[in-house]
Amino acid sequence: MSVPMTALGAVPPEDSRRQRELMERARSGDEGAFEVLVRRHEELAFRVALRMTGSPQDAQDVVQDALLAAWQALPGFHGDATFSTWLVRIVINRCHNLGRARHPTQPLLDEPAAHSPTTDTVVVAHHHHDAVVRAVMALPFDQRAALVLHTFSGHTHAQVGAILGITEVAAKVRVHRARRTLLDRLEDWR
């Protein structure tokens, strides 16, 4: 049975009892219950990881690592947050670890084969997209995490604060600073 997800990836309120049951069963070692929870939340986890890392391969690695960590830490999960909030926090931590372990690299771009107006438009759009991705990836990690969760994943400032372990006001400040920095860095593209 598939459960519809909201824009935030959370389980609808009418299913919160089922969610708690699954969590309890998973905490007791029921792999099937954990698999159901994973199916419900892995898309959200991947979207966050992709926005944080900028790479589909890195995002997959981060999510797999986060899911393993969640399974191992599940017996200690006390239910202070929803499963999705807890999982996204683990994903953010894994992204932070990945960022510290690696130095950013830039892929080499192929030269366009033909120079028609359509090709030029596509190339300009591609370069614009790359500029945005580079600007987001260059943000300080705390600002990037808040921006990704709020702007790209649709979390409220309160939810961002809960996921990152900061106040709602601090989340608003981080999102605002990230947006200002992006506007400054992308000034030439306006």
The Cα diameter of the chain in Å comes to 62
Q: Decide yes or no: CATH 3.10.105.10 for domain 118-190.
A: no
pLDDT for 152 equals 82
pLDDT for 99 equals 73
User: What is the distance between the alpha carbons of residues 50 and 103, in angstroms, rounded to a whole number?
Assistant: 17
Q: Which fold has domain 1-102?
A: Rna Polymerase Sigma Factor; Chain: A (1.10.1740)
CB count within 10 Å of CB 142 equals 17
How confident is the model over 36-54, as pLDDT tens digits? 999 999 999 999 999 898 8
Hey, what amino acid is at 108?
Answer: L
Instruction: Extract the residue ranges of the chain whose pLDDT is less than 50.
Output: 1-11, 14, 107-114
Domain parsing of the chain, residue ranges: 1-102, 118-190
Structural contact between residues 156 and 162, judged by C-beta atoms closer than 8 angstroms: no
